[in-house]
Every structure is written in structure tokens, then in C-alpha cells.
Copies of this chain bind each other. A is one copy, B any other.
């Protein structure tokens, strides 16, 4: 699986793992339908906690790059888009920067925007 994790990097471990997995899939080392190592297996190989690997798998699945078939294991998504069309991270940045730009134009302070944001996140949770 040619995956390396740098414990010294400021980049979160789960994020590193996501990048590595994306790279493996997009370079064709693993093709749609191919089985992937189990969470516990990969955690053991990379010397990571299983929860960390599970988090990476969970996000990769939501981005349509892998497919968790429950008890039957995890596989590369049958329609894994090499150019991930639904880039949720980019969507988040886009949507939020528009909102922030509008608010600043209305005279809102950065502090107020931060405070309002945390309030909104408290309510909706």
C-alpha cells in the first residue's frame, strides 16, 4: 500500500492518511472495486489507533472515494472520480467566504463574525 505517515508533521494523522489514500487511488494503484485493508489491519501496519484510521475511512467514504460494505470490508468506490467533483472542502470555503465578505461589507467586525459563527454552531448542534 506504500503509505507513509509522518508523526512529526503538523498535518493531522487522519488528514495525512486521506491524502495518501487519494493518491493511491488516483494513481491507479488501487482501482474501482479493489478491496482495501481493514481499519484494524491498516491501523496495525501504520502503528496508528484504529479510531484515527476509522475517521479517515469515514471521510473518504463520504467523498465517494471508497465504499464501506459493513461487515464485508471496504473497497475502492466503483465510481471513484479521479477528479473528485464533489469537493466538499472547497464548497465549504466558497460558501463561507461569500458570507463573510457580505458581512464585512455591511460593517461587521471580525470579532462579531466569529462570535456569531460560534453561536450559530451551538444552536444547530
Contacts and interface: CB of A to CB of B under 8 A. Distances in A.
The number of times this chain is found in the oligomer is 2
Interface of A: 59, 62, 88-89, 91-93, 95-104, 106-110, 112-117, 119-121, 123-125
Contacts of A93: 116, 119-120
A120 B117 CA distance: 12
Contacts of A97: 120, 123-124
A124 B112 contact: no
Nearest to A91: B106
Contacts of A110: 121, 124-125
Contact of A116 (B59, B96, B98, B108): B96
Determine which residue in A62, A96, A101 has the highest number of CB atoms from chain B within 10 A of its CB, and name it.
A96
